[in-house]
Every structure is written in structure tokens, then in C-alpha cells.
Amino acid sequence: MKNIYLIILAVIGSLSACSEPTKQEKPAETPFAEWGKEYALDTVIEVNGRQGIASDGKFYYVSSSTALYKYTKDGTLVASNEEPFNQLKLEANHFGDIDVYDGNIYTGIETFIDGVGKNIQVAVYDANTLNYKYSIDWNEASGQVEVCGLAVDREHNRVWMADWVQGHELYCYDLDSKQYVGKVKLSPIPRLQQGIYCKNGQIIISCDDGDAEKNESDHLYMASVYQNDTLTETADVKLWREMTDFKRVGEIEGLTFDPENNNLIVLANRGARIILGMPKGFYEGYDHEIHELYVYKK
Ligand SMILES: [Ca+2]
Ligand SMILES: [Ca+2]
């Protein structure tokens, strides 16, 4: 009898041992603030690139239309790749906004001619060396015709792409299978999208929708792209932040959030007069375009 009692105790002990979690659950990421105005401007850092920004918490990664740069968080350039397209299988001439995750830089690449993107792809680069690694192919049947920026969806191991030309949908790909997952409609449609960042099933979208000729500010919008952990058909889009605190109205580009401290970082260009996407000289007091990271703390 005593032996049976000991056996029962041993079984209960092993069962409770089995129910112990075998590995540490990934802690949930700090969600976005409900409104972007909760983030206050802290510092401004001048950089070489005019398109995209990403951070792994240790460095800032910046894209120009045709190069990748890596900076310390106080703005010292530590690496660059000024020939990033020479190993791609498909011809390319344009980076949009970028992201970085788990040692890889994710970039949206295309050949952009006459207002339409060709050869759209997600090209992946090594975050240490900035060297090209591999690409994820575009699904042309998705309806996407341009890539202005992308964001890694860390919770679902996916990547989202935005489209500056049409802008009515965001497009999702799986990072393991490298296959197209689906798309989400945006309502209302944010005009002239540039960069996106994804966290906790929500996406913040930067839009160059303020006309510098009329002294108008650009905006950030928020969209929830999941419902019960599946892609929602239509995401409601809300105005999240008006960017009234740039040094001069101009061209908003990519954005990111620093995973170390949850700072919001926005890339913006000022000084160049750009009419319908074409450079037309400079505003008074400027002889070149200035590219800056605006770092906001909550
Ligand atoms: Ca852009
Ligand atoms: Ca603008």
C-alpha cells in the first residue's frame, strides 16, 4: 500500500514537472501609444539617406534610394553599402523604407520608372556587413504595383509591404515559406504612403500628404490589420499624429520604433522643392536637401 502511495506521489510530481513551461515565453512588445502626440521630440540627427530608417536597439539603419548606411545611435556612420543592387537577380534602382530583425535588414526594392514599380521584391541584407543575402519574390497577382516601404511583423514572422501609387491595401508575406499570405484593405485610404512599422497587430503608416508648397504638415496614421489573429478584410485607419514639429515642412519618409526604449524615429527631408515627385530646385536658404532622423520619446 505504501508503495502504491509513493508511486502516485511520483506520478503527480512528474505530471506537474511536465506542465512547467519548457522555454521562456517571448514577452509581449510594448504597444504603440493610443495617440502619436504622446511622443515628444527629443533629438534630431542628420544622415546620408533620404528613404528609410530601422533600429535593432543598438544601431540605426538608414536607406537612401540606392544605398544602405549603419549609424551608432548618436549619429556616427559605421558602415555603408553603396552598391547594394549588384548581386540581385532582378534589375533594381530604388529602396523604400526598411526594417531590421534578428540580424537581418529587410528592404523593399523595385525598379521605379514613370510612377510604377517593376521587379518588386523583399531583399534581405546582413545587419553586420550590410551585404546582400536573399530575396522574397513579389506575387504580382496580389495587385501591388509599387513598394514604398515594409515592416517586419515579429509576432507572426511575416513582412508587410505598402504601395505609394495605389495605397488602398497592405500586402503580407510569410518569412519562413517566403510565400504571399494575403492583403488588407485600408479605409479611408491614406494618401502618398512612405513608411510603415508593425507591432502587436497594428501598423503605423507615414504619409507625405502635406503639401510643402502650401506649408502643410505630413501625418502618421494607425491601422489594425488583424482580428482574432487572422488578417482582417478592411482595416479602419485613424489619424495618429500630425508632424508639426519638423524644422521645415517637406517630405516625410520612413519610420521605426527603437525596440530598446520604444522611441519613435521618423526620417524627413527638407530644403528641396519637389513638385509631383520631381525635384524643382530649393527653398530659400537651402542649396541641398537635408535628411534627418527625428527621435521622439514617450
Ligand atoms: Ca520613400
Ligand atoms: Ca510633405
Residue-wise pLDDT tens digits, 130-146: 999 999 999 999 999 99
pTM higher than the cut 0.85 = yes
Q: Which CATH superfamily is domain 40-297 in?
A: YVTN repeat-like/Quinoprotein amine dehydrogenase (2.130.10.10)
Give the number of the ligand closest to the Cα of residue 94.
1
- How much distance in Å is there from the Cα of 248 to the middle of ligand 2? 10
Give the number of the ligand closest to the Cα of residue 64.
1
Structure confidence at residue 196 (pLDDT): 98
Q: Smallest Cα–Cα separation from 179: which of 141, 126, 233, 125?
A: 141
- How much distance in Å is there from the Cα of 274 to the middle of ligand 1? 13
Give the number of the ligand closest to the Cα of residue 53.
1
Which residues of the chain fall below pLDDT 70?
1-27
- How much distance in Å is there from the Cα of 97 to the middle of ligand 1? 6
Structure confidence at residue 21 (pLDDT): 45
Structure confidence at residue 261 (pLDDT): 97
Structure confidence at residue 116 (pLDDT): 84
- How much distance in Å is there from the Cα of 254 to the middle of ligand 1? 7
Q: How far apart are CA 38 and CA 30, in angstroms?
A: 14
